[in-house]
Amino acid sequence: MKEIFSERDTKLARIGKRYKGLSRVAASINDLYIYGITSQNFPHLMEVLENAKDHVKEQIRDCKYEIAVDSGLQVKELPPTDPLKQEKKMVDVEDLYKGGL
C-alpha cells in the first residue's frame, strides 16, 4: 500500500529537517568548550561562530514560524519588548487609593 503525500506534507517534512539541522548547528557551537575551543584559545574564531550562531537562531525562529503557519496554527504577535513601543494603559488614580495606600 503506497501512501500519497500532499505538497504541504513534503514541505513540512523539509522544513522540519531544516529545523533539526539548524538546531544541531547551534547546539554544536554551544558545546565547543567541551573540546577546549574557547574564546581564550581562539578569540577570532569564537567571535565568528557567535555571529553565526545568532544568524542560525534567526533561521530557527523563521523555521518554527513556517512550520506553525503551514500546520494551520494561528500565530500571535509577541508584544514588543521595547518599553517605548509598548501600549500604555491609563490608570485611574482614584482606583489606586481605594483600598488605602
What are the pLDDT digits (tens) for 49-74? 999 999 999 999 999 888 888 877 77
Alpha-carbon distance of 15 to 22, in angstroms, equals 10
CA triplet 56, 57, 60: central angle to 5 degrees? 90
Single pTM value for the model: 0.63
Quick check: 13 pLDDT over 80?
yes
Q: What is the pLDDT confidence band of residue 20, given thresholds at 50, 70 and 90?
A: very high
With cell 522540519, the residue in question is 16
The whole-chain average pLDDT of the chain stands at: 81
Domain spans of the chain? 7-70
User: How many angstroms separate the most distant Cα atoms in the chain?
Assistant: 74
